[in-house]
Amino acid sequence: MAIYIVGSLNMDLTIRAPRIPEAGETISGEGFMTNSGGKGANQAVAAAKLGGEAYMVGCIGNAFGGELSDALREYGVHTGFVRYEEDVSSGIAVIVVSGGDNRIILDAGANARPDRALVDEALAGAKAGDFLLVQLEIPTDTVAYALQTAKKKGMTTVLNPAPAAALDAAALAACDWFTPNQTEAAFYTGIFPGDEDSIRRCAQKLTALGIRNVLVTLGTEGSVCLSEGKWYRTDAVHVEAVDTTAAGDTYVGALVTRLAEGADVERAMRFASTASALTVTRRGAQCSIPVRSEADAFARERKIDC
């Protein structure tokens, strides 16, 4: 099954620092890097590197546009639906990495430009059973339109609601899969999923909106899924984290790839945890995402059935 990713493309400007500076303070950092990123592009790259047929749908601009589209093609992503906007910069993410964690500042740039016409163009050839994957770094009305259009075509729809933003009831009801982290889940429900009881109440409140499958990622505590009335829980794969950039995007891209291959929910969740664990052991965004052979070898090494 093909995977259509409607979302953002950014150039990540990353630097390591011993700590996050205080207001008005300048400190020395090291290891400056530029990396192609953006949640949409990262998830497209994750899907492609891990074995999926990924089609990126989004916009680039007059700064870094060529580099962003070249990087996608290098990783095996189809770029025929990446549109160039000559009067605006590509999206930019400034990232400070400290102690294995990160802080990110975004300039949307061309990521404000994806519209209904681009969605219609991209999904014209999509078939029932193909997957649509969207996030929220592009206009929410475009996301809502993409979800509803894909649903009408019989596609499987996946919303990774990051960063969290208000969506109308029709858009949420068009989600077959909803994959928030804890903070995002709390934004939509008012319930922070911190323990077993609150996780269940939070997921049930989301499914009451018409969402078929709710999967909440819990960081080092793994992930929990309420799918068609059944509960699944997967532990995180523990590694020494170097850089958490793109870990969540790898999880989602890996999850959708395995679902598109016909894997059951538990195996798809375990594969996503395995791939994201490998990602955090490396610096950068798309370059840190493992290829399928690496993820499979790591799963065998850890005796993970995925």
**Residues known to be catalytic:** 249
Extract the tokens encoding 284. 């950068």
In the block, tokens 């929910």 appear at: 265
Taking the C-alpha atoms of residue 126 and residue 286, their distance in angstroms, rounded to an integer, is 25
Taking the C-alpha atoms of residue 233 and residue 235, their distance in angstroms, rounded to an integer, is 7
List the one residue out of 204, 288, 275, 291 whose CA is nearest residue 237.
Answer: 275
| Beta strands across the sheet bearing 223-227 | 78-84, 53-60, 2-6, 131-134, 156-159, 177-178, 213-217, 223-227, 230-234
Extract the tokens encoding 227. 């799918």
Residues 6+ apart with CB under 8 A from 196: none
